[in-house]
Copies of this chain bind each other. A is one copy, B any other.
Amino acid sequence: MRYTSAAIEALIDAFAKLPGVGRKTARRLAMHVLQQPRLEAERLASALLDAKDLVVRCSICQNVTDRDADPCRICTGQGRDQSVICVVESPVDVLAFEKTAHYKGLYHVLHGVISPLDGIGPDDINIRELLQRLQPEKGGEVREIVLALNPTVEGETTSLYLSRLIAPLGIMVTKIARGIPVGAELEFIDEATLSRAMEGRTTF
């Protein structure tokens, strides 16, 4: 069953293409847009195009940044420890770490992980750009690479690949700890996480 308006149908179709948005939600969003002043629709429309037009990847860390702020604010930030680079899969991961306000080093965003099944090889993600940052002529400042990829098969594979690539350069390669999340009860933790937690135990 279709609406009595082709324009509404087109809007529902466009909304439904967004991740996690089904037909029902798309319909609700479309009706909301119809009820709002035109200014609100304009704001979303121009934000969409601006995001495509103004956002580039930082020439150093490959994180997303504005066209007029390259290198990005983190790469050029005062008080950032230039000797540590945390390697992540995507820009949202950078945000997650920044929210902790705990980590003060730099980042490198791979924009993906090695996934042979999806046809994604080492050359398809930003590994080359990472290696360039580690060249001695760059000042040789980097002492440590922290691998913080997601604990999926692809993430682990990529971590292994990177560690083998970087270790010979004489740079320390670490990975973030896997274990019990803060506040979680042991009873409800899956076996894989529990095993990792036991494996990674530290002295008290």
**Which of A's residues lie within 8 Å of B, judged by CB?**
1, 3-8, 10-11, 13-15, 17-21, 25, 27-34, 38, 40-55, 58, 63-66, 69, 72-74, 90-92, 94-95, 98-99, 101
* Inter-subunit contact A55/B95 (CB<8 Å): no
Q: Which residue of B lies closest to A13 (CB)?
A: B47
**Is the beta-carbon distance between B49 and A5 smaller than 8 angstroms?**
no
A contact patch SS: helix
Copy count, this protein chain = 2
- Are B19's CB and A69's CB within 8 A? no
Chain B contacts for A14, CB-based, 8 A = 43-44, 47-48
Given A6-B54, A7-B51, A11-B51; 16 other pairs, CB 8 A cutoff: A1-B95, A1-B98, A4-B58, A4-B69, A4-B73, A5-B54, A5-B69, A6-B66, A7-B53, A7-B54, A17-B43, A28-B92, A30-B51, A34-B55, A34-B64, A45-B49
Q: Quick one: given A1-B98, A44-B48, are A18 and B10 in contact (CB under 8 Å)?
A: no
